[in-house]
């Protein structure tokens, strides 16, 4: 695991967008693992611009999203289907609908949806680059504390801290779905490369536990220490509270 400190949200988001661009340019049929949430909005903003400037064709790119709420229609305002469409997919006609995978949380048979999603991942994967945010409780995807390191795509119960954090997108906390479909920790670990982006003081505790703590299912993101190619990108607000001795062991400077 490497840690890379970039001063602010703009630079950190541009870095992640540029890594995605480089991947698309290098391999026009790349498989990208995408994430949602406030962390990723500027990544997609910069990626859209880079796609335009580079006149990229995206019709062979395959994308997999990490998760979706159970019980929300795909076209509802707060669904991650809608998030991805608004933030990224609607802006370029060359994304190929058939190559975009986001789990459906609005189907009758959720178990079958999870099995199908995991099978698509196996058939189309492995993911070349998986981008990740991190929850204040150390979750990745919606793999909440206590999730098994062996977990694959499945229905999960959201923790109260996640529901509270995500309630800002809903009228009230009572409207936040209590469950989601999430790619599992084992599914995420199949990606060839992983970039975790963490910004802002509210993520500092989770990141310092990730950098300084044990590998344990109580901090789901800690599984990433077992992956051979992970970059953790942090802004100054997080960097300043980290144990600098630990950081030095992991630090990567931009060349």
Of the two residues 133 and 184, which places its CB atom closer to ligand PGA in the complex? 133
Burial call 219-248: b when 16+ CB within 10 Å, e when fewer: bbbbbbeebeebbbbbbebbbeebeeeebe
With CB under 6 A, what is the number of residues at the site for ligand PGA? 6
- Beta strands 62-65 and 100-101 are parallel
- Specify the stretch interacting with ligand PGA by CB under 6 A; choose among 34-42, 108-116, 177-185, 208-216: 34-42
Segment interacting with ligand PGA (CB under 6 A) among 36-44, 69-77, 123-131, 146-154:
36-44
**Of the candidates 43, 51, 134, 211, which one interacts with ligand PGA according to CB under 6 A?**
134
Residue 39 binds ligand PGA, judged by CB under 6 A: yes
> Among residues 33, 103, 133, 220, which is the contact residue for ligand PGA, using CB under 6 A?
133
Query: Cβ closer to ligand PGA: 16 or 134?
Result: 134
Does the footprint of ligand PGA cover residue 135 (CB under 6 A)? Answer: yes
Catalytic residue (choose from 5, 137, 143, 166): 137
Any catalytic annotation for residue 251? no
Asked whether the beta carbons of 225 and 250 are under 8 A apart, the reply is no
Q: Minimal CB distance to ligand PGA: which residue?
A: 37
Q: Determine the Cα–Cα distance for residues 159 and 143; give it in Å rounded to an integer.
A: 10
Catalytically annotated residue among 65, 68, 81, 139: 139
| Nearest by Cα to 89 from 77, 78, 103, 99 | 99
Which residue's entry shows tokens 């698309």?
24
Strand, helix or coil for residue 234: strand
């Amino acid at each position: 695991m490497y840690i890379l400190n970039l001063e602010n949200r703009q630079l950190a988001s541009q870095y992640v967008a540029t890594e995605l661009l480089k991947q698309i340019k290098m391999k026009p049929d790349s498989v990208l693992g995408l994430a949602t949430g406030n962390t990723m909005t500027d990544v997609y903003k910069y990626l859209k611009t880079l796609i335009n400037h580079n006149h990229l064709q995206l019709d062979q790119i395959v994308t997999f999203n990490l998760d979706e709420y159970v019980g929300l229609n795909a076209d509802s305002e707060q669904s991650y289907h809608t998030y991805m469409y608004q933030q990224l997919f609607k802006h370029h006609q060359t994304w190929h609908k058939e190559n975009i995978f986001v789990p459906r949380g609005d189907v009758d048979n959720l178990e079958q949806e999870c099995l199908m999603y995991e099978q698509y991942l196996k058939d189309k994967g492995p993911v070349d680059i998986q981008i990740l945010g991190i929850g204040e409780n150390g979750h990745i995807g919606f793999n909440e504390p206590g999730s098994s390191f062996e977990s694959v795509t499945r229905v999960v119960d959201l923790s109260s801290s996640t529901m509270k954090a995500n309630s800002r997108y809903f009228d009230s906390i009572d409207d936040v779905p209590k469950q989601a479909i999430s790619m599992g920790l084992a599914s995420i670990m199949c990606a060839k490369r992983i970039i975790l982006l963490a910004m802002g003081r509210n993520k500092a505790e989770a990141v310092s536990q990730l950098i300084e703590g044990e590998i344990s299912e109580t901090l789901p993101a800690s599984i990433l220490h077992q992956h051979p190619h992970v970059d953790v990108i942090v802004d100054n607000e997080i960097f300043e509270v980290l144990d600098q001795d630990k950081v030095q062991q992991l630090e990567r400077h931009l060349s």
